Amino acid sequence: MKLIKAEVLGYCMGVRRAVTMAEEALKAAAGVHRVYTLGPLIHNPQVLEQFRSQGLEVLDEAKLPEDLRSAVVIIRAHGITPQLETALACKGARLVDATCPTVKKSQMKACSLTEVGYRIFLAGERCHGEVIGIQGYAPACLVVGDPGEAEERAQTLYRSAPAAKTALLGQTTIAPDEYLGIAQAIQAYFPNLEIIDTICKATRDRQHALSKLCPQVDALLVAGGKESANTRRLLAIAEAQGKQAWLVERVADIPPEIRAYPVVGLAAGASTPDELIGLIAKALNRALKRKA
Ligand code: SF4
């Protein structure tokens, strides 16, 4: 068995930045303030467990404490709505804004387009934190998950406002061909749709590296959290290319049948720490030696 790693894999700039900011906030607040994140800081169980053991607590935005005057709240890379940011500030929380600069750009674009009268379509997963956060900057935007839904929503809007100025924004992790499909579905009703390129370069690079890797391997492991949208997307891309692929959160998840494949690929989502990638690669190499 031979192991080939994707050329680009693991932590992206936004996740690395959020992790560093959380580490620094914990250090600065040690013994003085409680430190929270709104929802999990990143979608990786090992990293979350490590932070939990250092005292980082997870806040549920539906049950915010009345008084946050002695607390530090870290806004994670996905960002939050401006309404929630105001609510936290009103409760006295000291905010550490770890919103990824790429996501921040989408939020600002949604805000400025709304201000000049655009009707916005937002392509992505309705329940994802990033999408919810962007929606806060464009409350009337239409969230669409696939071309079918986009067409339906565009048709409805066309009936009530055929001359509407429209724009399309997307979740940073959406696959380019999916984004294009959604854009085309809207353009059937609004040919002048303004398509904003919001796909993150880190996502694109990881997806591109995986597509390049697929033809060279017989099976593939994608290291990362099951809750991570970009990791799940990598798995879907590998499967769409006809590869047998598994998502592995930890070494114990490596399927024993992987040994049957002569060449195995290893990719990893943008929230997968280097340590985990290293451990999985080591375990695969051990399996390789045993087989030899
Ligand atoms: S995947 Fe892109 S948008 Fe998301 S946190 Fe990483 S750099 Fe930012």
Q: How confident is the model over 156-206, as pLDDT tens digits?
A: 999 999 999 999 999 998 988 999 999 999 999 999 999 999 999 998 899
Bigger pLDDT: 134 vs 230: 134
HEC profile of the chain: CEEEECCCCCCCHHHHHHHHHHHHHHHHHCCCCEEEEECCCCCCHHHHHHHHHCCEEEECHHHCCCCCCCEEEEECCCCCCHHHHHHHHHCCCEEEECCCHHHHHHHHHHHHHHHCCCEEEEECCCCCHHHHHHHHHCCCCEEECCHHHHHHHHHHHHHHCCCCCEEEEECCCCCHHHHHHHHHHHHCCCCCCEECCCCCHHHHHHHHHHHHHHHHCCEEEEECCCCCHHHHHHHHHHHHCCCEEEEECCHHHCCHHHHHCCEEEEEECCCCCHHHHHHHHHHHHHHHHHHC
Q: Where in the chain are the domains?
A: 2-11+201-291, 13-100, 102-195
CATH level 3 topology of 13-100? Rossmann fold (3.40.50)
Band of pLDDT at residue 32, cut at 50, 70 and 90: confident
Q: What's the 23 CA to ligand 1 centre distance in angstroms?
A: 18
The reply to whether 13-100 shares the fold of 2-11+201-291 is: no
CATH architecture of the domain 2-11+201-291 equals 3-Layer(aba) Sandwich (3.40)
Hey, whose CA ends up nearest to atom 5 of ligand 1? 14
Least confident of 14-28, 29-43, 84-98, 214-228: 29-43
Hey, whose CA ends up nearest to atom 6 of ligand 1? 14
Q: What's the 227 CA to ligand 1 centre distance in angstroms?
A: 15
Please tell me the number of Cα atoms within 13 Å of 41 on its side-chain side: 32
Domain 102-195 indexed as CATH 3.40.50.2020:
no
Identify the residues whose C-beta falls under 6 Å from ligand 1.
12-15, 77, 100, 102-103, 172, 200, 202-203, 230, 270
Please tell me the number of Cα atoms within 13 Å of 260 on its side-chain side: 4
130 among known catalytic residues: yes
Residue 292 has pLDDT above 80, yes or no: no
